[in-house]
Structure 1
Amino acid sequence: MAIFADRAHAGRELAAVLAPWRGTEAVVLGIPRGGVVVAAEVARELALPLGVAVVRKLGAPRHEEYAVGAIAEGVRYVDPEALHHSRVTPEQLASVEDAERAELQRRTALFEQTHLDVEGHTAIIVDDGVATGATATAACRAQRARGAAQIVLAVPVAPSSWVPADVDEYVCPHREPDFWAVGQFYDDFTQTRDEEVARLLARDLPDE
């Protein structure tokens, strides 16, 4: 059953739970693409700067939606259990990773104008939901490596059984026991385009 009309709706609900960070030195980082739509609402409601945490999922061959790991700048995370369950060979994983590294570099270059300095700040990492948790884990580890003083992972919905590692605080208003995909909780889960991400990020850039 859907909980949210769309990602913007999810972002407004998430922002209400994140109200204690309003007016702090925190920064909001959305995971492209869909997570940036949610993060934009959070950043607007809390009057915080908006940036991106670029991550790419490593999907199992022939089952791309099933993540066996994820990569971010300077970070490679692989879930041994997921790898074993999906029977992905080292050669298959290497092929998937090569393709995703190319896309990681493309998106990093595309959105580099909003590369926020997180050193010494609280990084609030936002996505539109968690399925396996691979991309969230990689994103959190990457921002920790960049010097974030505190990592807050904030998502509107996630499986009730999932507990993140590598975070200082986890905010999730809807922890669902009956979970098969993030999209099941949205009326509108249309794929977000690069142009929309760029528009949302540009809206948050300071005037020259």
Structure 2
Amino acid sequence: MNNNLFQWVKHHKTLAVFAATLLVVGACKAAEMLTPTKEIALIIGEPWKDMQARSTAEIGPVYEGRHWYRQPKQLSYMRFADPVHGFKTPAAKFFTVGFDDKGNIDGVRLSPQVEPLPLQEALDIVLDLQNQWRKSGWELDEPEEYPAYDNTPVWHEALKKCAALSTHWNAGKLYQLMIVITCYENTRYPDNKGYLVTISMGKYRE
């Protein structure tokens, strides 16, 4: 085989492998999009096995005698199952549930989205969650220093400058959470930044 022909074959083999890889990745993403989103239904402080029994998503067991965390095995949303202070998030690609050395749930961290979002879409997620919290008895902590997110020019400008602060919410003296929108450059939105919503949640602490 002459050198030019060898290079041609090598080049086209590489393209074929790359194309096949793209097809596999695309098929996986398509399958994920077509698979119904599962639910992780939990209450902070409850035994891990209670969450497992209540949820439709698979999530692994606890490690005995240590603090750790697990992630759902399928794309899942969270339903906070407290009968008074409950709420529901959108599906979360990043989603971890922590447990303590007694096997009880002690915290949650998640980003309630499946990809980086434009500013308004990220803000809409937060506004919806804030409305759910208000309706289910959550109250804003330190509202003067850390006000709730709002759909106003002031908030839009802060988000565009990556200068939006987190806000903190309490459900009586049972639970507390923090939510924040952060931003970063993203090639999917060349004219805009990508935005990421993050929630951290756990037991109430003074």
TM-score interval for Structure 1 and Structure 2 normalised by the shorter chain:
under 0.3
Higher relative contact order (CA 8 A, sep 6+): 1
The structure carrying a bigger helix percent of its residues is: 1
In our comparison, the structure showing a higher alpha carbon Rg is 2
